[in-house]
Chain A
């Protein structure tokens, strides 16, 4: 699956998901990893968190809330996607319809998995995230825009400074976020580095 689709500007309705340290076991419970494909994962995203809120007279989980149906920009707090390396987590989100994530911070493995799938994760300050979350809750019908080239997120008529690792940003903008093709550009060089490693030669 090699693609050179360049990713820069993403626009869509927001879906706010408050809470720090939301781990990948919650994003997609382990029982749904028992599959040889990623198909249908979107049906089970946040399944246990959503069920826990049902029938309690509590507001529905954002992913069950019809106000956010069709949203494509997920807004989160700190250390999103921590825990297990399961790529099933960002896959479930992307297949649900998420095209970009705006948050305070991410687990490194989650960020890297999302990058490999063409799903940008950008960071805003905690105060700015609060503003975007509040705006999403008040006006779920108003689009949020993420611009990687400008390093900005626009919501509520305001522009917020967004940060993302420079190398990831380059990868999205150049369409090399799916690294396999790039990594295979110079197989001779791979073999040369391997041959120079003492343990490859058996000491």
Chain B
């Protein structure tokens, strides 16, 4: 019987079965950032333990980094303490650090792939739930907590339970104005925010196969919002083309051997899945969250739901969300006035996201009442965007063009909402208080939809804004 990619990678990385019945799993790549590592290093230090594989560990700073004034010491003393702590820890334990003054710094889930660190067939762990992003390369990648960060530093291993695999097939072509962000929002809407608990999601089907690596990363990034800690896409020619020539990817003959091995890691044609769902791409519309969890979304042409439309367990959540967001059932989501437009985050801050947003804003201007910012996902993305003149397009349109970091996705840095502001955001979470104001409100959508909303000053259907060039994918 054939195996899924998950089974193959799991079996290859199993060190042994523990007395508890958990698997001791070797972690091929450990990514570290400043928020979830200080306590882990302290735990290591106090037990006198060394880092076992410093050469399989890479660090960067992203969550607390200011995107405007990045001079050291940071104005925020707590942020300065955290970056200093990471610097000390990386120095003491011999871990490469892509620091704020490095050309390679950026959001950890943007730089791993850029550097060629993220590769098919690996197990990848990081103290951040959006580690699922790296699954786009056919890796088994997942978020861990601080104590587990300590475990990986000490042993390069984790004690874990295996998960089941649900294959999610998406077939057909996406309509113009519909993007990979809409696909994953729709998946979460249908399967629910806890639908994936206990599962890894394998995204498959011709729609997925036609996607670029950046589009695939958007999909895998939000797996955790659907409850699935792991989400992946089988590696293929698109994956290998992306990887070839990356700084830390294999070279020459080694690349050819790697490609053969990577190919072999894909799920076998006769692999068996614990569950399977199929979605038709043509049915997916630009999608906007209206509520307080990523599953509470509607198509941009639809209206905000009534509590009675959902069964009991969900309807209380709808009522709570309506009250917090100050929305009314039956109200169209289109036309919702926004105060802030944010293009950024590990979900959507890569070059293709910026290109598409720039295409929409070119020749237009941000509505007078809207504060709009674009935060490239890494210094590399920023420089590439500037070489193409995207920064000028954004600035001329009235957007702020910032330095690389997590920014307003979670507001552990100066970029945050104020008061009851509503933000059209290309990020991944709309929980209460997520973007830095306890009463701030978040509407998740694709970067193209954020761009369209910034210009219109309200949620608007990007399909109406796009030039009739229309590419089906």
Binding site for B on A (CB under 8 A): 1-2, 19-21, 23, 25-26, 29-31, 33-38, 48-49, 51-52, 78-79, 82-88, 90, 105-109, 112-113, 116-117, 126, 165-168, 170-171, 174, 176, 178-180, 182-184, 186-187, 189-190, 193-194, 197-200, 202-203
Inter-chain pairs besides A78-B194, A107-B197, A176-B20, 17 sampled, C-beta below 8 Å:
A19-B317, A23-B429, A25-B431, A35-B82, A36-B81, A38-B39, A48-B432, A86-B145, A88-B146, A174-B20, A180-B47, A182-B19, A183-B154, A183-B159, A190-B156, A197-B12, A199-B250
CA distance A38 to B38 in the complex (A): 10
Select one of A25, A36, A82 contacting B194, CB under 8 A.
A82
CB pair B431 A85 closer than 8 Å: no
- How far is it, in angstroms, between the C-alpha of A126 and the C-alpha of B313 when the chains are bound? 10
Q: Is the CB of B197 within 8 A of A79?
A: yes
Given A2-B47, A79-B227, A108-B197, A36 and B147 contact (CB-CB distance below 8 Å): no
> What 5 A-B pairs are tightest by C-beta distance, nearest first?
A87-B145, A113-B145, A116-B147, A36-B38, A183-B155
**Measured CA separation A85–B22 after assembly (Å):** 20
Whose C-beta in chain A lies nearest to the C-beta of B149?
A: A87
CA distance A23 to B434 in the complex (A): 10
Most B C-beta atoms less than 10 A away, residue of A52, A85, A176: A85
* Contact between chains at B47 and A190 (CB < 8 Å): no
Name B154's contact: one of A126, A168, A171, A180 (CB within 8 Å).
Answer: A180
Cα-based distance from A186 to B26 in the complex (angstroms): 12
Query: Closest residue to B126 on the A side, CB-wise?
Result: A85
Q: Are A25 and B434 in contact (CB under 8 A)?
A: yes
User: How far is B128's CA from A83's CA once the two chains are assembled, in angstroms?
Assistant: 10
Contact of A51 among B78, B250, B438 (CB under 8 A): B438
Chain A residues with CB under 8 A of B180? none
Within the complex, the shortest CB–CB distance from B282 to chain A, in Å, comes to: 30
In the bound complex, CA of A86 to CA of B33 (Å):
12
- The range of chain B's interface size is 35 or more
Q: Which residues of A have CB within 8 Å of B148?
A: 112-113, 116
- What CA separation (Å) do A31 and B412 show in the bound complex? 6
| Interface residue ranges of B158-174 to A (CB < 8 Å) | 158-161
Contact check, B412 vs A193: say whether CB atoms are below 8 A apart: no
Say if the beta carbon of B239 comes within 8 Å of chain A: no
Q: How far is the CB of A33 from chain B (nearest CB, A)?
A: 5
Contacts of A179 in B (CB 8 A): 18, 22, 151, 158-159
Kindly identify which residue among A33, A87, A180, A203 contacts B250, using a CB–CB cutoff of 8 Å: A203
A183 contacts B316, C-beta separation under 8 Å: no
Query: Is there contact, CB below 8 Å, between A112 and B145?
Result: yes
Most A CB within 10 A of own CB, among B20, B56, B155: B20
Number of A-B pairs, beta carbon distance below 8 Å:
220
Let me know if B341 is at the binding interface, CB within 8 A.
Answer: no
CB-based contact B436/A194 at 8 Å: no
Q: A21-B193, A36-B85, A86-B36 are in contact. Are A190 and B144 (CB under 8 A)?
A: no
Given contacts A109-B129, A113-B147, contact A78 B433 (CB under 8 A): no
A82 to chain B: which residues have CB within 8 Å?
193-194, 227, 293
Q: How far is the CB of B290 from chain A (nearest CB, A)?
A: 15
- Contact B151–A33 (Cβ < 8 Å): no
> Closest CB-CB distance, B391 to chain A, in whole Å?
28
Q: Given A37-B39, A105-B197, A199-B258, A183–B24 Cβ distance below 8 Å? A: yes
Chain A residue with Cβ nearest B152: A183
B47 contacts across to A, CB distance below 8 A: 1-2, 180
A178–B147 CB distance below 8 A: yes
Interfacial chain A residues near B42, Cβ < 8 Å: 36-37
Q: Which one, A51, A108, A186, A187, contacts B198 given CB within 8 A?
A: A108
Distance, CA A143 to CA B248, complexed state (A) = 57
Say whether B194 contacts A109, CB under 8 Å: no
B194 & A180 in contact (Cβ 8 Å cutoff): no
- Given A176-B20, A197-B13, answer yes or no on A190-B258 (Cβ-Cβ < 8 Å): no
The answer to whether A170 and B19 have CB atoms under 8 Å apart is yes
**Please, which residue of chain B has its CB at the minimum distance from the CB of A1?**
B43
Cβ B151 vs Cβ A183 within 8 A:
yes
Beta-carbon contact of B161 and A167 below 8 Å: yes
Complex contacts, A38 vs chain B, CB 8 Å: 39
Q: Please, which residues of chain B bring their CB within 8 A of the CB of A21?
A: 193-194, 293, 317
Complex Cα distance, B12 from A35, in Å, reads: 37
Is there an interface contact between B438 and A180, defined as CB atoms closer than 8 Å?
Answer: no
B255 CB, nearest partner CB in chain A, Å? 8
What's the nearest-Cβ distance from chain B to residue A44, in Å? 12
**In the complex, how many angstroms separate the beta carbon of A124 from the nearest chain B beta carbon?**
15
Which chain A positions have C-beta within 8 A of B227? Answer: 79, 82, 107-108
How far, in whole Å, are A189 and B25 apart by their CA atoms in the complex?
Answer: 11
Q: How far is the CA of A165 from the CA of B22 in the complex (A)?
A: 10
CB–CB A20/B429 < 8 A: no
Residues of B close to A23: CB separation below 8 A:
293, 429, 431
A85 to B146, CA, bound (A): 9
B79 lies within 8 A of chain A by Cβ: yes
| Bound complex: CA A179 to CA B81 (Å) | 29
Residues of A contacting B436 in the complex (Cβ-Cβ under 8 angstroms): 30-31
